[in-house]
Structure 1
């Protein structure tokens, strides 16, 4: 062995060699180790240091940066770049150990301890197979999987090597694309089609049955014919209402702009709706009252569509009469309010009927959701009224709140932003054109 090599090895291992000699010297001084044993141990330590391999500067740099080169990437700018990605991202080394989880990953999937195995974190066979394939040098395609913890999310997971070719020292980047909203929308569309088909199938089957009966056994039975024709007319009206509501809902969901919006008088719309429902309320012995005393003016202008707002309040008042009519009265109360710190107008439609259990309230605006299916169908409800209301309120940048307790009736609040005073045109001729 060359003298220079021996010197380099001794210098490289000087600290452990010095520590061992000091320790052995202390033991000799205390009499725990004899001098010959001390010399033998020192010679052994010296031989170990001379025979131990010495890493070059480049090797020591690679060791300091990690055996797979991932730590070299874990500089502050690189970690900040990963944290700035809006999707969950996970950085792992070539052994599958986690090196960095960005902020979005921690928010959606929980914290991930550095050094933990990524294959222990996920239980999906497809995910594990994809990771194992990538670690083995393959190029697997993305996989879709459902993650239930800490919350249910659908993800499209893809894995990319941070070094090209056969070199995998740079580790791998796992990218999680959140598909939850897309999956929920698909499920809603599927449920919508199924529910709409079911709602239409029932009256169609009824019509087909009565037509077959009238064409056969009841051909000459005038009493049965009149009774069946009345039922058929009722079922046809039910289908017509359902189709109208479906078309309205589709129109609001696909509406991209608000080109038909103009200045409309909210109080005038409420007066119109109350007058339209007076006959229906009278048949059911229900009094409808419009209270606008809290408003500073008899006219409240908002930016919106008159037809859509009429449909909104018609749905609310009709629901109050149908399902809350046991209380004998329906109240419509207009009051000043605030929305996002800006002036607004709140319209409350209140009934004094049986009320609704709290667990149903969050789902009332879902399409075809009914608290009591039989009661709703018996009252000629389509299950789409509040879904339409929700879309109209959203299009008008308003807010919808439903409050109810069993035995205390139901209160529905809609709040619309008021028009700025400078934008209110005081030309009465233009008012008449806008509102017709």
Structure 2
């Protein structure tokens, strides 16, 4: 029984008690007056008074509703606005933000997850219009309370950064409403990233294809007989084909890495072995560009749980970028080391650029107290402008666009590095200052062991 019904019951009991007293006293007074006046004898008057009292008592007992306690109403359906513990338990058991609106348009029950979306605590008892700040959701609660039909409302929260879906269902009491909120932010971002990825991939592939189609048309048309110009056309077509081949290769590589990113590697390898073999393979490219490759920190074995080929690809992408952006005759420095914690490794990974501006492109998922290894790649190029640092690692963002736009690339190299390091529970950071080069650093957990650790082969 609700507080309102209990109050009404007590009021009715008070009214009937008043009627009983008035009827009894009035009848007794009338009988007394008749006896005193001699109209009735004493015995007849007493008998009439008793009969009148019995009738009034019967009316009182029969007309007053009984007070039924919550404990005695086992199995009864909760009345409107009742504080039903089962509803409260349900709301608190839900893993999503949720609340229950009573017929008085007040939030009767809410759970602790509600603070995640509305940033308001202690909402129980407050009017729904005070707590619900989304007009569409507020209007939906009115419709569901009125019609009983379930609804779903999508809205943006937290300054437009999060997407939420409100599920509204009518409750057991008339005009009551259950509201459960589902976080759709991750799905929304994935859909948006997929759309952007397809749009960028289409654009990047369209450029070389358009160039190829144009030169083929020229060679079949106006330059059909100009064989001397064909060599130049074929050279450009070869470059465009090579660009498209690299783009497709990077797209396939990125897709493969993203597919397995949730599964961390389980093979123990020697990080210094990976670094030395990869740098050795890049020496011809450095010699072609007249750039010296300086390597340090390979005087110890550093066991890490990693995939040999993927870490080699990380080093190849970082060192390859450093070679592209360093002027001829300069030096690209590659360093490796160990740190007692991931936090210290993050500092060591970009230590070459003391006066530069740093940006962490990937926060590691491993514990900050875990023992770590790091690799540092520093070039002697023009550096990267501050406004571009945060965008490094985005798909199809080309570093050359922030360094003069003279060097071509697919814009996927750092994105691949970022996803590989995410799979390895590691981090990625950059430090740069315009005119003073750039330093890229990675760090990941290392294996701590006193015994000799078996390592994987070069081919992983």
Is TM-score (shorter-chain normalized) higher than 0.5? yes
Counterpart in the other structure of 2:429: 401
Which of 129, 150, 154 is the aligned partner of 1:140? 150
Aligned partners of 2:274 and 2:311 also within 8 Å = yes
Give runs of aligned pairs for residues 351-366 of structure 1, distance below 5 A: 351-366=379-394
Q: 1:276 aligns with which of 272, 281, 293?
A: 281
* Residues 101 and 223 (structure 1), Cα distance of their counterparts in 2 relative to 1, 3 Å cut: farther
- SS in structure 2 of the partner of residue 363 of structure 1: coil
Q: SS at the partner of 1:413? A: strand
CA distance in 1, matches of 2:306, 2:109: 50
Q: Tell whether 2:315 aligns with 1:306.
A: no
1:162 aligns with: 171
Question: Per-residue deviation at 1:103?
Answer: 2.2
Of residues 182, 200, 222, the one that matches 2:227 is 222
Matched ranges for 1:309-388 at <5 A:
309-325=311-327, 328-337=330-339, 338-339=341-342, 340=367, 341-373=369-401, 378-388=406-416
Name the residue aligned to 1:116: 127
In 2, the alpha carbon distance for the partners of 1:423 and 1:258 equals 27
Q: TM-score, normalised by structure 1?
A: 0.75
- The answer as to whether partners of 1:264 and 1:302 remain within 8 angstroms in 2 is yes
SS in 1 for 2:151: coil
Aligned-residue offset at 1:123: 4.1
> Any idea what the Cα deviations from partners look like across 1:378-432, whole Å, max 9, x if unmatched?
4231111111111111222222222223333322221122224267446xxxx58
Q: Provide the secondary structure at the position in 1 that maps to 2:234.
A: helix
SS of corresponding position for 2:371: strand
**For 2:331 and 2:313, how far apart are their aligned partners in 1?**
21
Q: Residues 248, 432 of structure 1: CA spacing in aligned structure 2 closer, same or farther, 3 A cutoff?
A: closer
| Greater percentage in helix | 1
- Structure 2: stretches of 5+ with no match in the other structure: 1-12, 20-63, 72-77, 343-366
Counterpart in 2 of 1:205? 210
Counterpart residue number, 2:59: none
- Please state how far the C-alpha of 1:59 moved relative to its aligned partner: 10
Q: Relative to structure 1, is the Cα distance of residues 80 and 358 closer, same or farther in structure 2, using a 3 angstrom cutoff?
A: farther
Q: 1:72 and 2:83 equivalent?
A: yes
Query: Residues 61-82 of structure 1, C-alpha deviation per residue, up to 9 Å, x if partnerless?
Result: 9xxxxx9744613x6x965763
**Deviation of the 1:120 alpha carbon:** 7.7
- 1:292 paired with 2:294, answer no
The CA distance in 2 between the partners of 1:132 and 1:256, in whole Å, is 44
Structure showing greater radius of gyration is 2
Q: Compared with structure 1, are the counterparts of its residues 406 and 239 closer, same or farther at alpha carbon in structure 2 (3 Å cutoff)?
A: same
Provide the C-alpha distance between the structure 1 equivalents of 2:375 and 2:320, rounded to a whole number of angstroms: 15
Deviation at 1:115, TM superposition (A): 2.3
Counterparts of 1:379 and 1:372, CA distance in 2: 5
Listed as ranges, the gaps of 5+ residues in structure 1 are 11-53, 62-66
Q: Distance in 1 between matches of 2:79 and 2:133?
A: 22
Tell me which of 108, 111, 124 is aligned to 1:102. 111
Conserved? CA contact 1:89–1:176, under 8 Å: yes
Task: Give the conservation status (yes or no) of the 8 Å contact 1:357–1:406.
Answer: yes
Cα contact 1:119–1:131 (8 A) shared by 2: no
Query: Aligned equivalents of 1:176 and 1:264: distance in 2?
Result: 45
| 1:92 equivalent in alignment to 2:98 | no
Alpha-carbon offset, residue 234 of structure 1 = 0.3
Measure the CA separation in 1 of the matches of 2:281 and 2:191. 38
